Amino acid sequence: MRIIINELKKIFNIKFIILLVLINIIMYFLFIEFEITNFPNGRPALDIYNMLVEMEDSYGEFMDGEEFDDFKVKYEEVKREADKYIQSREDFKRAGINNYDEFASIDITNKELDRLHDDVFFEKEIDVFWELPWREEYIRVYENRKEIMMEKSSNEKQETRIKDILENDIETSVFSDVIFFNYNNLIKPVVTTILLSVMFMITPIYLIDNKNRINYLQYTSKIGRKIFKKKIIAGLLASFIVVTIQFICFFSLYATNNTFMFLNSNINSIYNTIISWYDLTFIQYISLSIIGTYILAFVFTLTSMLVSTMGQNYITVIGIQLPIALFTFMVLLKHLIYYMTSIRYPKYFLGLSYIILILISTIYMIIRWRREKKIDIVY
């Protein structure tokens, strides 16, 4: 235990912590901050978000037939509001527009009318006019949901899955890609930052000792080569701490996006871009990505250690880690974190890839440990 604590102290030395904080701040401002401070991003997104909150408020997690009728009634109400606004304005009367329907079919090639159109949307930013097209869109999608859902399948297995969803009316879930897309856009840079931090912290773990020839001293002590194992534990523990702290920071920032009312909504909504193999609620999806990140972090801890034992100097280590990192950030994360459990992939793709990653890293580590037991210290 004492050795593990001392190893942890070595990993968390003050220089590295300062650099780690700086790396995280930069990653935050370069890749994460935008989706946090700009949610919902811009006009239609804001209106969809507001409409969705209202839907969730009055219908709960799913919108059944009766509630849908109510949704249509609300649409009519908003429309009347728009009518009232149009009728209250003289310039609309002069242009011969008396209600929303006439406004919606406005001919924007006509300069005079186009000016009115822009005035309502971009100059005065009247809410109802931004809202109405999306209410219409949501009604249209709901009414045609069976066909729209079925169109998303491209093979038999996906078809059965979609039929399954339709049978249980899960597609009527009150959830939308405005929220889902935002979360996915955030989780990718967050996981990138986390893995980068883990790599940065763990990689020197054996290298420093090898470079300073401390390992010769270690080998001759009572604990001997078992120090290798202790370091593994210390490394895993360190990355657990790093990941947990980063997740706490991230989710306290994410909480400012105000999406907690949708945590219990099923993600397989007709208004969402993903169809999942499983009936996941949003909170379950988030948990899944957290678990995935922890697994990836541990896998990366082990690979970083492995790299650490291989190189005799820093440039070798960086040179090996660099392609691994680039491949992970550019290719691997796209499939393992972004849109997890989507039916775009084979059903067991996600689970299998994670298991393979875990197996590869542990097996390599075991092999390395066996070699460590026998390794000759006179090079």
111 binds other proteins (CB under 8 A): no
Q: Three-class SS of residue 276? A: strand
The one-letter amino acid code at 1 reads: M
Q: How many helices (H) and strands (E) does the chain have?
A: 19, 0
DSSP 344-375: TS-TTHHHHHHHHHHHHHHHHHHHHHHHHHH-
Indicate the residue among 155 and 379 with the shorter CB distance to other proteins: 379
Among 26, 223, 248, 291, the residue binding other proteins under the rule CB under 8 A is: 26
203 binds other proteins (CB under 8 A): yes
217 binds other proteins (CB under 8 A): no
Among 2, 15, 111, 374, the residue binding other proteins under the rule CB under 8 A is: 15
Q: Answer whether 297's CB lies under 8 Å from 317's CB.
A: no
Q: Answer whether 176's CB lies under 8 Å from 266's CB.
A: no
Among 5, 217, 223, 322, the residue binding other proteins under the rule CB under 8 A is: 322
325 binds other proteins (CB under 8 A): no
Among 256, 314, 331, 366, the residue binding other proteins under the rule CB under 8 A is: 314
23 binds other proteins (CB under 8 A): yes
Alpha carbon distance 286, 255 (integer Å): 13
User: Measuring CA to CA, how many Å separate 217 from each of 4, 60, 233, 330, 378?
Assistant: 17, 65, 20, 41, 13
320 binds other proteins (CB under 8 A): yes
- Is omega for the bond preceding 189 within 30 degrees of 0, making it cis? no
Alpha carbon distance 267, 148 (integer Å): 16
User: Which contacts of 120-123 are long-range, i.e. CB under 8 A and separated by 24 or more positions?
Assistant: none
Among 11, 27, 174, 343, the residue binding other proteins under the rule CB under 8 A is: 27
Structure tokens of 212? 């300073």
Among 1, 14, 73, 315, the residue binding other proteins under the rule CB under 8 A is: 315
Indicate the residue among 216 and 314 with the shorter CB distance to other proteins: 314
Structure tokens of 233? 């534990």
Among 40, 189, 204, 235, the residue binding other proteins under the rule CB under 8 A is: 204
Q: Three-class SS of residue 176? A: coil
- Using the contact rule CB under 8 A, the part of the chain among 115-123, 248-256, 291-299, 316-324 near other proteins is 316-324
19 binds other proteins (CB under 8 A): yes
If we measure between CA atoms, which residue out of 280, 343, 349 comes closest to residue 149?
A: 343
Alpha carbon distance 104, 134 (integer Å): 12
Among 136, 313, 362, 370, the residue binding other proteins under the rule CB under 8 A is: 313
- Using the contact rule CB under 8 A, the part of the chain among 1-9, 19-27, 81-89, 102-110 near other proteins is 19-27
Q: How far is the CB of 88 from other proteins (least distance, A)?
A: 30
Q: Three-class SS of residue 338? A: coil
30 binds other proteins (CB under 8 A): yes
1 binds other proteins (CB under 8 A): no
- Using the contact rule CB under 8 A, the part of the chain among 75-83, 173-181, 244-252, 310-318 near other proteins is 310-318
Among 14, 323, 376, 379, the residue binding other proteins under the rule CB under 8 A is: 323
Among 10, 145, 163, 211, the residue binding other proteins under the rule CB under 8 A is: 211
Paired strand residues for 342: 276
The binding site for other proteins (CB under 8 A) comprises 15, 19, 22-23, 26-27, 29-30, 200, 203-204, 211, 313-320, 322-323
